[in-house]
Amino acid sequence: SQLPFMPDFEALIATLKALGWKTAIASGGFTYFSDYIKDKVDLDFARSNQLEIIDGKLTGNVLGDVVTAQMKSDILVELADEYEIEQHNTVAVGDGANDL
C-alpha cells in the first residue's frame, strides 16, 4: 500500500480508460507489485514474474517463463490481437534496458 506512483500516473490511466483505451503492464518485476498496480488503477492486464513460495517462504525460483524484452513484445502483439487493435495503434512505455 506504500508503493509510490509517479505524479499523475493514476490520472493518466483513468483518462486513457475513459477514452476507451486498454491498459496493461508487462514487467520484469514480480507479480506482488504488478498485481497491486493492476488492482489499484484498474488495468486490463498484468503479467510479470511469479516467485515460487513454499511453506510461506520464497525459494528463489521463478515459476513459468521469465518476462524478457521479447516476451513484452509478444504480450503487446497478443493483446493487440485479443482486443482487435492494429499494432500501429498501440503504445508501449518503458524505463529500462529490457523494455520494448
pLDDT tens track of the chain, all 100 residues? Answer: 677 899 999 999 999 999 999 999 999 999 999 999 999 999 999 999 999 999 999 999 999 999 999 999 999 999 999 999 999 999 999 887 777 6
CATH number of the domain within which 57 lies:
3.40.50.1000
Are 31 and 48 in contact by the 8 Å Cβ rule? The answer is: yes
Question: How many separate domains does the chain show?
Answer: 1
Residue 56 to residues 44, 47, 59, 85, Cα–Cα distance (Å) = 29, 22, 9, 41
**Which residues fall within 8 angstroms of residue 2, CB to CB, at 6 or more apart?**
none
In a domain, 5, yes or no: no
pLDDT of residue 4: 87
Residue 55: domain span = 24-89
In a domain, 94, yes or no: no
pTM of this structure:
0.84
